[in-house]
Chain A
Amino acid sequence: MGVTTMRPLGPASANEPLDEVDFLILDQVRELYTQADPPPVDLVERIRLAVSMAGACEPLARRREVLAAGMRGTDQRRLITFDAESVTVMISVQPNRDGTVRIDGWLTPPAGHPVELRTARIRMRTTADADGRFVLDGVKPGTAQLVVRPLRGRSVTTPAIVL
């Protein structure tokens, strides 16, 4: 391309249109950072897995709020509420001393539905009590999602969250 052959020398003006020299520089900057600071090699695969888990054909509950409780000093609980048409899931996520996480959950309307926690590696199952309460303890931190499987009706899955 002969577009730039007649360009004058001198400092590049900020107000000029981008030309192929600029694109060349940006290409090289991309090359530079691709080598200097690439994403982890498995990141794309991890994300695809998380996306495929979250993209199940079940109704997706929407996250309504994320509250850092933090009202009592070192309290590190997070309160997260997921709303779906058939059920609301509220969970409290609390770190244990051993590095795992404890999840206390409440289903509304209250019912003894089976509840499942899915991560890339494991599935933990429990059943809520008649008041809709359930506990999942000793959960390893990471990306996970909850699935509520009502005895009748369709399952509801939350988006994957980072515990």
Chain B
Amino acid sequence: MTYREVSPRARRLPEYQGTTEAEGGTVDRLGAGPSSPPADVHEQGDRIPEENTDDRYERIAELLEAARSGRPDGMDELVEELTPLLWHVARAQGLDHTSCADVVQTTWLNLLRSLAGIHTPSALTAWLVTTTKREAWRARDAQRQELPSAEEGFADSTVDEGTPDQQVLAADQRKRLWQAVHRLPLRCQELIRVVAFTPRPDYGVVAARLGMPRGSIGPTRGRCLAKLRDLLTSETEGGWV
């Protein structure tokens, strides 16, 4: 099998195609990676080289500017854009749903007081991820861990799009992806899960804020993603990639 199978598979799973085409032009430019994250949460000086952006990053930059100038729609849309990321940061700490909802909400409320010192989307992402994780730790002390197990999830799930053939294929791929993710070490599971919801230029910043060593992901693949990719590609029957 070769990597050239990406394109045919993208056609089989329509949700891939737009993403691949829309963002394909930025892939090569990601090589330089974000600058190193600030050592302290209050130091919000990270700057991303201008060429190192994508559409989502630029959109967040605009929303941040709007929020900083006091426009409520800016903050509203930032909340919508980045709450999923923060949700998964909190959930990856093993917190239950109720606590995670509180944690994410508290993080956003705390942001209101810190907004004046946050100038870039990367600084915003870093601040939000760090604060969410810290709040989650606080909340976690008060409850037992409730980690989703590998048995949950997609064992019996189906997808509701496409022809029956496509459904079987997509369900099978999801199940295998789910199983592969859960064969990773827990720290890798957390990293992959959170990074999947992170604006691309911020992968490295977010990994650092999750306490991962430098180079865990972005600009290079890093060990966690390399391992996941190997798990997926090593299965030859109906290969994943």
Contacts and interface: CB of A to CB of B under 8 A. Distances in A.
A13 B196 CA distance: 19
A15 interface: yes
A130 interface: no
Interface of B: 1-4, 6, 10, 15-16, 19-20, 23-24, 27-28, 30-31, 72, 75-76, 79-80, 83-84, 87-88, 91, 97, 100-102, 104-106, 108-110, 112-113, 148, 152-154, 157, 173-174, 177-178, 181, 192-193, 195-197, 200, 203, 215, 217-223, 225-226, 228-230, 232-233, 241
A123 interface: no
B104 A39 contact: yes
A29 interface: yes
A18 interface: yes
B87 A26 contact: no
Given A52-B72, A55-B72, A159-B109, A25 B225 contact: yes
A63 to B, nearest CB: 8
Nearest to A15: B220
Interface string A1-24: 101110101011111111111111
Instruction: Pick the most buried of B110, B196, B222: most chain A CB atoms within 10 A of its CB.
Output: B196
Nearest to B105: A47
A51 B104 contact: no
Interface of A: 1, 3-5, 7, 9, 11-40, 43-44, 46-48, 50-52, 54-55, 60, 62-63, 143, 159-162
Given A9-B1, A24-B6, A24-B10, A47 B83 contact: yes
Contacts of A24: 6, 10, 16, 19-20, 241
Contact of B219 (A9, A18, A35, A160): A18
Contacts of A43: 83, 87, 101, 104-105
Contacts of A19: 27
Given A9-B1, A24-B16, A27-B19, A51 B225 contact: no
Nearest to B222: A14
A133 to B, nearest CB: 26
B229 A17 contact: no
Nearest to B81: A44
Contacts of A7: 2-3
